[in-house]
Amino acid sequence: MRTPLGWLQLRHDRGRFLVALAGIAFADLLMFMQLGFQAALYDSNTRLDRAFRGDVVLISPKALNLQNLSTFPRRRLLQALDVPGVVDAQGLYVRTVNWRNPQTLRSATVQVLGFDPDADVLRLPEVRAQADRLKLPDTVLFDRGARGRYGEVIARLDRGEPVTSEIERRTIAVGGLFRLGASFGADATLMASDQTFLRMFPRAKAGSISVGLLTLAPGEQVAPVVRALRRHLPDDVQVLSHADYVQFEENYWRVASPVGFIFGLGTAMAFVVGVVIVYQVLSTDVNAHLQEYATFKAMGFRQRYLLLVVVEQALILAALGFIPGALMPLWLYAVAAKATSLPIAMTLGRATTVFVLTLVMCLASGAIATRRLQAADPAELF
Amino acid sequence: MGTGAMASAIVIEGLNHHFGRGAVRRQVLFDVALEVAAGEIVLLTGPSGSGKTTLLTLIGGLRAAQGGRLRVLGRELVGATALQLTLARREHGYIFQAHNLHRSLTAAQNVRMALEMRGSLSEAEMDRRARRILESVGLGDHLDVKPGQLSGGQKQRVAVARALVGEPPLLLADEPTAALDSHSGREVVLLMQRLAREQGCTILLVTHDSRILDIADRTLSLEDGRLC
């Protein structure tokens, strides 16, 4: 085995080595945070969409995202039932509104979903279990994972005490809790019956719904039914499979909103910071050893050998810098998840992505740094 | 010298060398002719700027030769490619004015690097040879010490050990005593002489140091790029 020159050289100057590792760890940390927030953004904003129970989703062609769905005629649900394979059709009313936070008595934004409490439209067992409470007039269920100062409200509800609030100058009773979690688009979500919803928003028309959820017969293929629905229904409604609908929501945040771009840019900048740091360290190291490298060339070592030394150093830095760079986010994710009520956690996929980015970062810096090796001229030694 | 069964280690004829191009082109070596027999110890002296270091780097394959004839250990170095020069250099041992040891490596690791380059010896054999030659230069108890903790004379002795551990047929040295006091300077040169004699190595040594002239078989003097 050859002498591990790159490793010995790195270890020789401990101060510089630690600075390099700290720099890489910091770049990794930045990338982890950016990618983590980005994933949390997509995840939290599609959480309610994913909870919709239905194989096919109908929305207005004007819909942008869950907070801006627009409406389409309720009749389309009945028409959809004409298409073979469709066995059930349910409508959802969705609105974003200001309510009075029962704890602070200040105005806060909430998203309200209205639906038939007898229909099983959401994959949220807590909501299903409390369907009877929704049938009480002007009663809603509140999201335990909401962002904002709701701690006392939740504690009171947990103790079974009544809590009331106000929406559009109408007193609303909070009848129970479920867990969904905040998103970038909505701090909190309320579940209501369709009757309560329509009373809350007198200007909303019962015949105009925001989402249609279609259930297909067991074993029915989704794609052919979607095609049949598109042929059968007029242009004022968009037909999507449930998966495509979730993708539609995610695409809004990824492409149409600036947030996806911002986190992508943040990741790219963290990467560039890492390249600069590693390049600084490696090129300083090459410079500091030019005389020694020239000696090696005089002894008959080829340029390739010295390139390998720099590559070895780059790989060592990448691997050792990644360890603290991946451990720190574990803690920061927990802090961020607590502070923002967003689902931020380490995933194996993201760790792999960042590790690959770190390798690329270090090898790219190493490749730039090796250009300095040309300056090692054995003829200058004597 | 240079006759009989003994082949010549170095044969130089009509060697010219220029630095720079165009208007600033300057000739530093003029029609140099030289023959050094295998096993011979030759000292090259001369005032600074006389071209002796240039001659040494040409013979050592550290610089590409431009014209004339330059045969070192049976290889023609005039017109050689960079790779051929690299391969030629593997046959040479070099001792520089500065020790040029690698700071991050211990004495033993520094010496071992010269063996590693050949790639033909086993791990244990490389360690054994590195240890043995360091013992023979009197540094048997400094094997695992880095250059930073060695004295100037000790460092230069490690450099001698590194140059000779591969038993090169040719040793090239440029002012190896310049950075040392007279006592350790002489010690290093005697060491070179002894080891080279044991290995049958040819030595070409550039020096100003008049105190070491007595170790040579022959002393040449270079002035203004001409041997005299």
pLDDT digits (tens, 9 = 90+) for A114-138: 999 999 999 999 999 999 999 999 9
Q: Is B38 among the domain residues?
A: yes
Whole-number pLDDT of residue B214: 86
DSSP state of A130: T
**Confidence grade of residue A139 (pLDDT, cut at 50, 70, 90):** very high
User: Are both B130 and B76 inside the same structural domain?
Assistant: no
User: Are both B202 and B149 inside the same structural domain?
Assistant: no
DSSP state of A87: E
**Whether B104 and A11 lie within 8 Å, measured CB to CB:** yes
**Whether A2 and B116 lie within 8 Å, measured CB to CB:** yes
Chain B hits for A316, CB-CB cut-off 8 Å, are none
CA atoms of B90 and B56, how far apart (whole Å): 16
**Among B150, B166, B182, where does a domain finish?**
B166
B144 touches chain A (CB under 8 A): no
User: Are both B16 and B79 inside the same structural domain?
Assistant: yes
Q: Tens digits of per-residue pLDDT, A246-299?
A: 999 999 988 888 888 888 899 999 999 888 888 888 888 888 888 889 999 999
Q: Tens digits of per-residue pLDDT, B155-185?
A: 999 999 999 898 899 999 998 888 788 888 8
User: Are both B17 and B28 inside the same structural domain?
Assistant: yes
| Closest residue, chain B, to A377 (C-alpha) | B62
Chain A contacts in chain B segment 166-195 (CB below 8 A): 174
User: Are both B162 and B173 inside the same structural domain?
Assistant: no
| Closest residue, chain B, to A305 (C-alpha) | B117
Q: Is the pLDDT of residue B2 over 50?
A: no
Q: Tens digits of per-residue pLDDT, B127-162?
A: 999 999 999 888 999 999 999 999 988 999 999 999
> Which residue of A8, A294, A301 is in closest CB contact with B117?
A301
State chain B's mean pLDDT as an integer.
Answer: 88
Tell me what percent of the residues of chain A surpass a pLDDT of 70: 99
Q: Is B173 among the domain residues?
A: yes
User: Are both B121 and B208 inside the same structural domain?
Assistant: no
Q: Give how far Cα B179 sits from Cα of A111, B139, B150, B182, Å.
A: 82, 19, 14, 10
Count of CB atoms situated within 10 Å of the CB of B81: 9
Question: Percent helix, strand and coil across chain B, each rounded to 5?
Answer: 35, 25, 35
| Span A311-330, average pLDDT | 94
Mutation choice for A interface testing from B19, B44, B104, B143 by most A CBs within 10 A: B104
**Among B130, B145, B166, where does a domain finish?**
B166
Q: What is the DSSP string of A218-256?
A: TT--HHHHHHHHHHHS-TTSEEEEHHHHHHHHHHIIIII
Tell me the three state secondary structure of residue A342.
Answer: coil
Domains of chain A, by residue range, sit at 5-44+258-380, 61-236
Q: How many domains does chain B have?
A: 2
Q: Tens digits of per-residue pLDDT, A61-72?
A: 999 999 999 999
User: Which two three-digit tokens encode residue A272?
Assistant: 């560039």
Q: Tens digits of per-residue pLDDT, A65-112?
A: 999 999 999 999 999 999 999 999 999 999 999 999 999 989 988 999
CATH code of the domain in which B75 resides: 3.40.50.300
User: Are both B8 and B81 inside the same structural domain?
Assistant: yes
**Confidence grade of residue A1 (pLDDT, cut at 50, 70, 90):** low
Q: Give how far Cα A99 sits from Cα of A5, A173, A190, B163, Å.
A: 67, 12, 10, 85
A371 touches chain B (CB under 8 A): no
> Which residue of A8, A291, A379 is in closest CB contact with B100?
A291
ipTM: 0.87
B129 touches chain A (CB under 8 A): no
Q: Smallest CA–CA separation between B178 and chain A, in Å?
A: 12
Q: Give how far Cα B111 sits from Cα of A143, A231, B137, B168, Å.
A: 71, 82, 12, 13
- Spatial strand order of the sheet with B218-223 comes to B92-95, B170-174, B202-206, B41-45, B218-223, B226-227
Q: Is B96 among the domain residues?
A: no
Q: Amino acid letter at B129? A: R
The domain in which residue B7 lies consists of 1-91+168-228
User: Are both B85 and B173 inside the same structural domain?
Assistant: yes
Whole-number pLDDT of residue A236: 94
Chain B hits for A381, CB-CB cut-off 8 Å, are 62, 94, 96, 100
User: Are both B139 and B192 inside the same structural domain?
Assistant: no
**Among B142, B166, B190, where does a domain finish?**
B166
Tell me the three state secondary structure of residue A216.
Answer: strand
Q: Is the pLDDT of residue A178 over 90?
A: yes
User: Are both B114 and B224 inside the same structural domain?
Assistant: no
Q: Is B51 among the domain residues?
A: yes
Q: Is the pLDDT of residue B5 over 80?
A: no
Whole-number pLDDT of residue A288: 87
> Which residue of A2, A3, A378 is in closest CB contact with B62?
A378
Chain A hits for B62, CB-CB cut-off 8 Å, are 298, 378-379, 381-382
User: Are both B181 and B158 inside the same structural domain?
Assistant: no
Q: What is the DSSP string of B36-76?
A: EETT-EEEEE--TTSSHHHHHHHHTTSS-B-EEEEEETTEE
Q: Tens digits of per-residue pLDDT, A3-39?
A: 889 999 999 889 989 988 999 999 999 999 999 988 8
Q: Smallest CA–CA separation between B104 and chain A, in Å?
A: 5
Q: Smallest CA–CA separation between A311 and chain B, in Å?
A: 17
Q: Is the pLDDT of residue B6 over 70?
A: no
A296 touches chain B (CB under 8 A): yes
Q: Give how far Cα A69 sits from Cα of A64, A129, B164, Å.
A: 6, 27, 82
Chain A hits for B102, CB-CB cut-off 8 Å, are 5, 289, 292, 295-296
User: Are both B84 and B49 inside the same structural domain?
Assistant: yes
**Confidence grade of residue A340 (pLDDT, cut at 50, 70, 90):** confident
**pTM (whole model) above 0.90:** no
Whole-number pLDDT of residue B4: 39
A374 touches chain B (CB under 8 A): no
